[in-house]
Amino acid sequence: MTQKTSFVKDAPRSARAAWNTFRIFASYYRPHRKLFAADMVCASLTAGADLAFPMMTKFTLERLLPGGLFRAFFVMIALMVCLYLLRMGFTWFVTYWGHTVGARIEADMRRDLFGHLQKLSFSFYDTNRTGQIMSRVTTDLFEITELSHHGPEDLFISVLTLLGSILLVFFIRQEIALIFVIVMPLAIFHILRSRSGLLKASRRVKERTAEINASLESSISGARVAKAFTNESYEKSKFHGGNENFKLAKKNYYFSMATFQAKFEFLIHLLNVIVLASGGFLVMKGKMTLPELVTCNLFIAAFLMPVRRLQNFVEQYTTGMAGFSRFLEIMNIEPDIKDAPGAVNPGTIRGDISYRNVSFAYNNGVTVLRNISFDIPAGSLCALVGPSGSGKTSLCHLLPRFYEIREGSITIDGIDIRNIQLEALRRSIGIVQQDVFLFAGTIRENIAYGRIDAAEEEIVGAAKKAEIHEEIIRMPDGYDTIAGERGVTLSGGQNQRIAIARIFLKNPPILILDEATSALDSATELKIQESLEKLSRGRTTLVIAHRLSTIKNAEKIIVIDDEGIRETGRHDELLAAGGMYAELYRAQFGAEKGRAAEGENPPRPVFL
């Protein structure tokens, strides 16, 4: 069952904010509360065993050995062995199942974070590097397992053992118990005082780790470019800088941790000396027996164990909560594009598209589109042409709501896209881009991404429609051939046709072709155009055209630049008007005519 957690937005840095953070963290225990409760019970029984041993020792030294009760002495020894056998079982349960609870909580957090990332819009990914995001999902949550297991356990056992130790020593010698009462607040004060510094240092380590991951992801993705420009030494130098920053942050964290531990160890060992000195003085005065002094020293060990647990808890808390706070930073980002209240699923979509007075700007505030209006009837082909940077791609990205419009409206079949459920809207739109993304799996998996539950014959059918089936079956592993990361093992034309096959399988009523063939050579482009022609039949198609000769028979051609729509009409009408389209066409036609004279075949018009 998916857990729903309420995340706090814009919480102030205050006790209330800390409480809210704790409440969110604690909510992740709810699905595992039974196992967690059993873990705490076993932890308390372990603490009980540690407290029982000094009292059993005191009874043995005061009653059994002086009284010559040797049979009872060996019975007591056997009971001690049984006690520690039981403690061993409790320790195993706490170690195994406690860590299992921690791992489950970490997995739940990672699940929620990944699910939240899937909801965030393109604008989030435009401003956050992939390596940084990956670090949030992996490294930042790495210590959560230890914190979620040991944190509650250490706090619970520490409080139980500390109070039990002081209470039992109080019944032995009140003077020694008073020493415990004085030292314990000093130790706890030192722990709490050091927490904030360690937390800041740990957070800096995580930030530097995220920077390294981002640099590493960028360098690995761009390895071919680096080699092509012989910039390997530059990449090494750039990574070295980030690595040095990480090392410095780690060094500062270890300095803070070493200072904390050294002071803490001195305080703890000083307690041994004080108890021994005070107990020895009481023995000299005849106010305390030697067995009582031995028992009090055993309780020091029982006392020190929970204090050390608190020390470990501080270290785990600083690393775990530093990661958890960065986890919350992402979870507190509200998706700027989501279903409106009462959003509908229109069912069958015909594909009538209407843009009305649409304006759009990216997060940097620069306006890309101003007051754009046009209509595309269902089943027709509309082409967008114009210079680079005029907003053609942005205009297309607004239709599936990859970005949100600032002003105006876009409707499909008369329904504002903001009132259509996102899943239904995007399921009805297929996109083929110039930069095709293939996953690192098999060709079959990449085609099936168009519809995850597609049968084998449907996948093969889609490949045949995309004119890629024959090439696939000639490959050594056929449809099980690994495409490689971003389709690196395949040619550009093969990647493009696999992407087209994916859209055939999806079978959407609306199609966007974003310069889908502009990066290909002419021979490959002809093959791709045949596939695109099949794909566009019967669909509302919006084409961003690179070569104007391929859109001669489009029902509508929209010429756009950075000032907005300049011209609208069919190919012949726009040529006759002698405007911007005619100028662009003549410039391209002259270049294509020149290439043809040199023996290169010009692209054949598509959608005829």
Collapsed DSSP state (helix, strand, coil) of residue 263: helix
**Cα–Cα distance, 595 to 584 (Å, whole number):** 17
CATH architecture of the domain with residue range 431-507: 3-Layer(aba) Sandwich (3.40)
DSSP for 481-492, written as a single string: -B--GGGTTS-H
For residue 492, which of 536, 432, 435 has the smallest C-alpha distance?
Answer: 435
pLDDT at position 399 is 92
Residue 412 has pLDDT above 90, yes or no: yes
602 or 327, which is more confident: 327
Residues 311-324 pLDDT 10s? 677 777 777 777 78
pLDDT at position 139 is 72
Place 364 in a pLDDT band, splitting at 50, 70 and 90.
Answer: low
Determine what percent of the chain is predicted with pLDDT higher than 90.
Answer: 8
Place 10 in a pLDDT band, splitting at 50, 70 and 90.
Answer: very low
**Cα–Cα distance, 68 to 288 (Å, whole number):** 22
Residues 180-200 pLDDT 10s? 677 767 766 766 666 666 667
pLDDT at position 9 is 44
**Cα–Cα distance, 445 to 452 (Å, whole number):** 8
* Domains 15-331 and 431-507 equal at CATH topology level: no
- What average pLDDT does the structure give for the chain? 78
Question: Average of pLDDT values for 196-220?
Answer: 69
Place 217 in a pLDDT band, splitting at 50, 70 and 90.
Answer: low
pLDDT at position 420 is 92
Residue 52 has pLDDT above 70, yes or no: yes
Place 534 in a pLDDT band, splitting at 50, 70 and 90.
Answer: confident
Q: Which of 19-28, 286-295, 348-357 has the lowest mean pLDDT?
A: 286-295
pLDDT at position 204 is 76
Q: What angle do CA 571, 579, 542 make, to 5 degrees?
A: 40
Looking up tokens 């006392």, which residue turns up? Answer: 303
Please say whether the beta carbons of 290 and 283 come within 8 A: yes
Residue 253 has pLDDT above 80, yes or no: no
Angle (deg, nearest 10), helices 70-119 and 144-172:
150
448 or 275, which is more confident: 448
Q: What angle do CA 448, 454, 456 make, to 5 degrees?
A: 85
Residues 262-306 pLDDT 10s? 777 677 667 777 777 777 777 787 777 777 777 777 767 666 677
**Cα–Cα distance, 371 to 365 (Å, whole number):** 16
**Cα–Cα distance, 593 to 549 (Å, whole number):** 11
Dihedral, CA of residue 342, residue 348, residue 352 and residue 354, to nearest 10: 20
Question: Average of pLDDT values for 487-499?
Answer: 78
Residue 354 has pLDDT above 90, yes or no: yes
- Parallel/antiparallel/unpaired status of strands 540-544 and 381-385: parallel
Place 411 in a pLDDT band, splitting at 50, 70 and 90.
Answer: very high
Strands across the sheet with 510-514, in order? 429-433, 510-514, 540-544, 381-385, 556-561, 564-569
**Cα–Cα distance, 216 to 32 (Å, whole number):** 36
Q: Which of 25-34, 81-90, 212-221, 364-373 has the lowest mean pLDDT?
A: 212-221
- Parallel/antiparallel/unpaired status of strands 510-514 and 367-376: unpaired
516 or 514, which is more confident: 514
Please say whether the beta carbons of 136 and 330 come within 8 A: yes
Overall CATH class of domain 15-331: mainly alpha
CA separation (Å) from 115 to 137, 325, 331, 592? 11, 18, 10, 48
Neighbouring C-beta atoms of residue 23, cutoff 10 Å:
12
Domain chopping of the chain, boundaries: 15-331, 431-507
Q: What's the predicted TM-score (pTM) here?
A: 0.68
Collapsed DSSP state (helix, strand, coil) of residue 385: strand
pLDDT at position 123 is 78
Place 3 in a pLDDT band, splitting at 50, 70 and 90.
Answer: very low
pLDDT at position 410 is 93
pLDDT at position 4 is 41
Place 357 in a pLDDT band, splitting at 50, 70 and 90.
Answer: very high
Tokens linked to 78: 């056997």
Region of residue 439 (phi > 0: left; psi between -120 and 50: alpha; otherwise: beta): beta
